[in-house]
Amino acid sequence: MKNKDKSRKWMWWFLGVVLAMQLYFVRELFAAFALFALGFGAIAFVIAALYMLHQGWAVAVEKLAVSEHPAVLYTKHRVNLLEDFARRRAVATAAGAEELAKRAIRRAGSATAR
């Protein structure tokens, strides 16, 4: 009978240890799940915030584009002037490049090759 009681005692200890290990493992899985959920939640929050900033910026630009405020009109006028200047400069640069390409490159006072 004493041998049987010792066996039961060890059996209960073994089952208790196995149960404790299972509970510990489940607790660790829940902790890992919580960490991953927090991480993905933070990433989702950042993406949503950037999306909202983008949408807000788009609405602000649309309202600014149709605005008749004197500062906005002045800025539009200046931007148009700069665009025209840049366009004329690009055309002049392209024409200058064509002229340079057509010109013969040689030293002053040298004879032409025969």
Q: How many Å apart are CA 72 and CA 80, to the nearest integer?
A: 12
Provide the whole-model pTM: 0.50
Radius of gyration of the CA atoms of the chain, in A: 40
Whether 106 contacts 112, CB under 8 Å: yes
For the chain, strand residue ranges (E) read: none
Per-residue pLDDT of the chain (114 residues; tens, 9 = 90+): 566 777 788 888 888 888 888 888 888 989 999 999 999 999 999 999 999 999 999 999 999 888 889 998 899 899 898 898 888 887 777 767 776 666 666 666 666 666
**Alpha carbon 58 to chain centroid distance?**
17
Whether 72 contacts 64, CB under 8 Å: yes
Q: What is the pLDDT of residue 113?
A: 62
